[in-house]
Structure 1
């Protein structure tokens, strides 16, 4: 089974096109420099940055990533294998309705087409230890504080109407290494974010296109999102499903939020 992620080009979303008034963002490239610049512009402390993860199996390559790892962004192909798994797993789940400081994690419902990169980023900085590194008074700080008391539908409306997010995202989408597709382009790659809740110590798969946050199980106090247990519950589960389905589409790529090297 291939477990070394590749560098993917600009990515999109699994949210299906809907009405003509649906909002779209230009897809973000899964590039650590792009994501770092965007988070810093919004208000994340410069003590954190995104890093490439070149392998999840080679200890020498994994050692280049500073630890602890606060959030892991995975880009993967949206194909029949994933669509079948998602439909089956979500079938009996109620729509998430959590809100407030009592939530185990802060989850955002995605209603903007091709904005899954931004959703992954927001999930990464709104949860776990990274949240304490959001600078007071910044655009990101203001957004999270407004979002936390709201239900998912109202959070989505807030996200759609927050001009600072829209502007910063547009700047980031035009700064990648590859030419960005049109905002409403039909793309087949999608972001999810893995975070560790500081409330219960569990690993959560955060995908705004699902019915809510997905609890993937407990992690020990010294385990982060790149620990072997977390990788087995998260990234390797995606790879295993693709392998078992006989698929050869392994356009997986990973970047991680951790301490800055500067």
Structure 2
């Protein structure tokens, strides 16, 4: 069977917010652009607390080659059930890493509390949580509601949507706090599992706190070095309370 592909989402917080709400997250949450990780005045405009972050990086050949080397040595994640520290979805739908970014920030941390009962996301989470990564991937692939919501949002934006099978020149990675341990995680469906970043956030610390920012800036530096020559830098969106 041919692999399923979606048309990639444009990295626009309005589009991401629209899809977030279509999937069943309360309109009390939305995505906003983070214009800088260094400028205190610009950071002051971000509503707090920040419940999740989605980074958008250019998918250069150098970056993809380095990722392949890292993943070759990685141990595949096999977690399942209510005792997981985070909910992670393996990406098996082509060009849908923006969707997986939304799922990862919405299904973890305090954002989980804003998933509306009996919504598409609520049903998907209930069905997929007991399953291993392969089972969860099948649940997402088989959801007509998820596909329809994504398709509608992918047609929005200022640029012309590319063909679904065309590989985009960018990739999305999510950052969130565990709803169990408050550990900070990097979550991307195109790697072999969730990555614990070794930082524990206290109750007062969100994902733009001083300690979290140290982790994020170190991550950005590593990714920029691995990406080689970049056509553009990176973008960041934050999931916040309105």
* Shorter-normalised TM range: over 0.9
* 1:194 correspondence with 2:194: no
Assess, with a 3 A threshold, how the Cα gap between structure 1 residues 91 and 229 changes in structure 2: closer, same or farther.
farther
| Number of aligned residue pairs | 241
The two structures, once aligned, show a CA RMSD in angstroms of 1.7
SS in 2 for 1:247: coil
Residue in 1 that maps onto 2:240: 258
Residues 205-261 of structure 1, C-alpha deviations (whole Å, 9 max, x = no match): 10100000011112331222222332332354233442477534443111110111x
Aligned counterpart for 1:57 among listed residues 27, 30, 38? 38
Residue in 1 that maps onto 2:51: 70
Contact 2:62/2:228 (8 A) holds in 1: no
SS in 1 for 2:134: helix
Residues 16-71 of structure 1, C-alpha deviations (whole Å, 9 max, x = no match): xxxx7111000001111101111111110111111111111111111111111111
Aligned counterpart for 1:148 among listed residues 108, 113, 129? 129
Q: With structure 2 as the length reference, what TM-score do the two structures score?
A: 0.93
Aligned counterpart for 1:226 among listed residues 208, 214, 237? 208
Residue in 1 that maps onto 2:221: 239
Matched residues in 1 for 2:2 and 2:224: separation?
34
Residue in 1 that maps onto 2:19: 38
SS in 2 for 1:144: helix
Residue in 2 that maps onto 1:7: none
Could you tell me which runs of 5 or more consecutive residues in structure 1 were left unpaired when the two chains were aligned.
1-19
SS in 1 for 2:32: strand
Contact 1:205/1:234 (8 A) holds in 2: no
1:65-144 maps to which residues of 2 (within 5 A)?
65-144=46-125
More displaced stretch, 64-73 vs 238-247: 238-247
Matched residues in 2 for 1:170 and 1:212: separation?
26
Q: With structure 1 as the length reference, what TM-score do the two structures score?
A: 0.86
